[in-house]
């Protein structure tokens, strides 16, 4: 559509803007289906050819969201993360770089589901019910992943922003964490860093290089094999390689084939095998990121070609253990904690609480839950087992760390530890899980410890575990409590699970309805592979009976 001029802005009334938004929808971005779609934990996500009208409306919504936040920048990321290439999606980023506020998820759902003819009316009712000041400015920051469908969907978002006369910064092809970073920088007036893609690379790599004047240390070798999932992570990594120089040698794989196909963090985690297309070597550190580079999994093969995976739990324990050490060495009194979900391997929880003495909190699945809990600590480390996570520092903690680095009353070694903590903080993208920032953080800790990947893996042994899914008539009949570790309904199901679990040494199991698929998930772990498989099957079987299973019954492990 032709972009309205400044004069239009002055003369068009709000009512005219609502009707303009409706007419652009009708003419250029008509609604494609009457099937309801919901803004879920990862925003809207579906087949790319069903998304044009949704993208347009999310452009409209980003403008309203910015206005209600007094003109603060709002991010719009076009991506479907680890989903197959034909999918796409969109999510909004709030002013501090956090996920969209829950109440606005419902507004987003409402806005994309009304008919084109009712669109103007819907906008009006959002503006009026939320008391949005129309005279406030609106700023947005837009990014997209490498999917072939993304440029056309971007145009729809831009049309939505233009229809309500919002300003836009288009970052082009970037990772999801870069959008979160830039939004945070703009809204903090640069306090978090320089508000550009280049500013992001520079902040992370400068801090990383400072932390390792010598690239080698003990068993640590500065080389990784990087699986870019054929996506934006590979493009970003090319830029990192230029800036990292000899401090870290990165061998690139999966840069330009079909997105996420037989590679990437989700493939490695779910299939429990190396990404395809990589040349493996015994004990070489391999890193897989997902399609929008906000998740990371490490893995390696040993001398017997056995596959070993180091997932989000491993990263969380490695990082939390190191931060605790730096806190002790600096004498800083800050409260450090780790946030996990029920999926965290029992061995990781035991290791971090009993051996490293870091307290652990558990929240329901979904990044926003972990993030919210993590900010209750002075320093909160949070990771999902699937490799999404980061570390957040309270503003008081950041101030104390900075002051301690220059405090003459502290010993030289205390000041050095505080200075290190400050540089470690700069390697971390605190705004959201960030695959490449997390990788630099892991490399920093392994280097500091002089550890090879096998040394890291030897810290503790994971309990064998198994995940299954069960289809039921209505998955909402399964409700949970205690951070999804126990189920409340259907009546009697939890008692059956308790009985099954009590028969397995180190047994643990839970069931929860998926937030992204029409299934109920089962997780079980136990002392042996056979016991874990058996327990998962037994729990799936009682779940099928109690929750109205449909389709094939769970089958016993072979």
Cα-atom radius of gyration of the chain, to the nearest Å?
24
Cβ 42 to ligand 16G shortest distance, Å: 5
Please state, in angstroms and as integers, the Cα–Cα distance from residue 452 to each residue in 53, 285, 443, following that order: 50, 8, 10
Residue 288 touches which of ligand 16G, Mg ion, none (Cβ within 5-8 Å per kind): none
Assigned token pair, 329: 């060495």
53, 73, 81, 330: which is the annotated catalytic residue? 81
Torsion sign (Cα): 190, 179, 515, 500:
negative
Residue 266 contacts Mg ion per CB under 5 A? no
Specify whether the CB–CB gap between 527 and 506 falls below 8 A. yes
Which residue, 294 or 533, has its beta carbon nearer to Mg ion? 294
Which residue, 328 or 517, has its beta carbon nearer to ligand 16G? 517
Residue 449 touches which of Mg ion, ligand 16G, none (Cβ within 5-8 Å per kind): none
Please state, in angstroms and as integers, the Cα–Cα distance from residue 195 to each residue in 59, 135, 168, 174, 427, following that order: 21, 25, 14, 14, 16
Cβ 431 to Mg ion shortest distance, Å: 14
Residue 70 touches which of ligand 16G, Mg ion, none (Cβ within 5-8 Å per kind): none
Residue 175 contacts ligand 16G per CB under 6 A? no
Chain-centre distance for alpha carbon 47: 21
Please state, in angstroms and as integers, the Cα–Cα distance from residue 20 to each residue in 10, 55, 165, 218, 481, following that order: 15, 17, 11, 65, 46
Q: Stretches 81-89, 160-168, 363-371, 534-542: which one binds Mg ion (CB under 5 A)?
A: 81-89
Which residue, 314 or 324, has its beta carbon nearer to ligand 16G? 314
Structure-token match 């699945």, residue found:
365
Residue 87 contacts Mg ion per CB under 5 A? no
Residue 386 touches which of Mg ion, ligand 16G, none (Cβ within 5-8 Å per kind): ligand 16G
CA-CA distance, 212 to 149, in Å (whole number)? 41
Which residue, 266 or 462, has its beta carbon nearer to Mg ion? 266
Residue 317 touches which of Mg ion, ligand 16G, none (Cβ within 5-8 Å per kind): none
Residue 553, Cβ density class (10 Å: 0-12 exposed, 13-18 middle, ≥19 buried): exposed
Site for ligand 16G in 377-406 (CB under 6 A): 384, 386, 388
Burial readout 16-30 (b: 16 or more C-beta within 10 A, e: otherwise): ebbbbbbebbeeebe
CB atoms < 10 A from the CB of 38, how many? 14
Task: Name which position in 20, 22, 66, 81 contacts Mg ion (CB under 5 A).
Answer: 81
Assigned token pair, 419: 């200075």
Specify whether the CB–CB gap between 240 and 247 falls below 8 A. no
CA-CA distance, 90 to 109, in Å (whole number)? 12
Site for ligand 16G in 344-373 (CB under 6 A): 365-367
Residues 6+ away with beta carbon under 8 Å from 409: none
Cβ 95 to ligand 16G shortest distance, Å: 18
Q: Stretches 22-30, 400-408, 511-519, 537-545: which one binds ligand 16G (CB under 6 A)?
A: 511-519
Residue 331 touches which of ligand 16G, Mg ion, none (Cβ within 5-8 Å per kind): none
Cβ 432 to Mg ion shortest distance, Å: 10
Specify whether the CB–CB gap between 195 and 187 falls below 8 A. no
Residue 41 contacts ligand 16G per CB under 6 A? yes
Site string for ligand 16G, 514-553 (x = CB under 6 A): xxxx---x--------------------------------
Which residue, 414 or 429, has its beta carbon nearer to ligand 16G? 429
Which residue, 343 or 546, has its beta carbon nearer to ligand 16G? 343
Q: Stretches 19-27, 202-210, 407-415, 513-521: which one binds ligand 16G (CB under 6 A)?
A: 513-521
Catalytic-residue membership of 81: yes
CA-CA distance, 147 to 206, in Å (whole number)? 30
Residues 6+ away with beta carbon under 8 Å from 300: 282, 283, 284, 285, 286, 307, 308, 310, 453, 454, 457
Cβ 368 to ligand 16G shortest distance, Å: 6
Structure-token match 């500065």, residue found:
222
Site string for Mg ion, 275-304 (x = CB under 5 A): ---------------x-x-xx---------
Chain-centre distance for alpha carbon 375: 16
> Which residues carry out catalysis?
81
- What residue ranges bind Mg ion (CB under 5 A)? 81, 290, 292, 294-295
Binding residues for ligand 16G (CB under 6 A): 41-42, 365-367, 384, 386, 388, 514-517, 521
């Amino acid at each position: 559509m032709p972009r309205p001029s400044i004069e239009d802005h002055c003369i068009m009334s709000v009512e005219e803007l609502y009707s303009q938004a409706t007419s652009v929808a009708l003419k250029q971005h008509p609604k494609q289906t009457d099937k309801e779609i919901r803004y879920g934990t990862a925003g809207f996500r579906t087949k790319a050819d069903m998304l044009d009208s949704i993208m347009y409306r999310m452009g409209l919504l980003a403008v309203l969201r910015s206005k209600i936040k007094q003109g603060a920048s709002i991010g719009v990321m076009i991506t479907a993360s680890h989903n197959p290439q034909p999918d796409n999606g969109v999510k909004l980023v709030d002013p501090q770089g956090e996920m969209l506020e829950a109440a606005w998820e419902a507004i987003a759902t409402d806005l994309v589901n009304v008919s084109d003819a009712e669109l103007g009316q819907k906008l009006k009712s959002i503006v009026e019910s939320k008391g949005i000041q129309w005279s406030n400015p609106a700023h947005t920051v837009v990014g997209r992943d490498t999917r072939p469908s993304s440029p056309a969907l971007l145009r729809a978002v831009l049309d939505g922003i233009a229809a309500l006369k919002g300003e836009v910064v288009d970052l082009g092809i970037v990772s999801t964490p870069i959008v979160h970073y830039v939004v945070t920088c703009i809204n903090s007036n640069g306090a978090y860093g320089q508000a550009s893609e280049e500013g992001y690379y520079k902040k992370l790599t400068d801090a990383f290089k400072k932390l390792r004047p010598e690239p080698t240390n003990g068993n640590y070798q500065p080389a990784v094999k990087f699986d870019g999932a054929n996506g934006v992570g590979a493009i970003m990594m090319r830029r990192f390689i230029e800036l990292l120089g000899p401090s870290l040698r990165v061998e690139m794989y999966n840069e330009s084939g079909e997105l996420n196909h037989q590679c990437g963090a989700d493939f490695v985690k779910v299939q429990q095998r190396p990404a395809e297309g990589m040349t493996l070597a015994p004990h070489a550190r391999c890193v897989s990121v997902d399609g929008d580079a906000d998740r990371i999994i490490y893995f390696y093969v040993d001398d017997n070609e056995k596959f070993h995976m180091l997932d989000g739990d491993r990263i969380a324990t490695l990082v939390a253990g190191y931060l605790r050490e730096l806190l002790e060495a600096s004498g800083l009194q800050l409260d450090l904690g780790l946030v996990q979900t029920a999926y965290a391997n029992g061995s990781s929880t035991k290791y971090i609480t009993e051996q490293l003495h870091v307290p652990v909190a558990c929240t329901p699945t979904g990044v926003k839950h972990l993030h919210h809990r993590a900010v209750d600590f002075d320093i909160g480390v949070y990771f999902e087992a699937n490799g999404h996570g980061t570390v957040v520092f309270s503003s008081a903690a950041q101030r104390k760390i900075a002051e301690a680095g220059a405090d003459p009353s502290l010993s030289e070694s205390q000041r050095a530890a505080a200075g290190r903590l400050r540089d470690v903080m700069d390697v971390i993208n605190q705004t959201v899980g960030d695959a490449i920032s997390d990788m630099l953080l892991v490399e920093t800790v392994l280097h500091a410890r002089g550890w090879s990947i096998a040394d890291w893996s030897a810290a503790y042994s994971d309990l064998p575990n198994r995940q299954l899914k069960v289809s039921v008539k209505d998955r909402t009949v399964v409700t949970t409590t205690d951070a999804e570790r126990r189920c409340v309904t259907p009546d009697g199901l939890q008692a059956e699970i308790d009985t099954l679990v009590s028969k397995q040494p180190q047994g643990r199991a839970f069931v929860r309805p998926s937030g992204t698929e029409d299934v109920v998930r089962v997780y079980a772990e136990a002392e042996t592979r056979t016991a874990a498989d058996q327990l998962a099957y037994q729990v799936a079987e009682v779940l099928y009976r109690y929750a109205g299973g449909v389709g094939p019954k769970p089958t016993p492990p072979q």
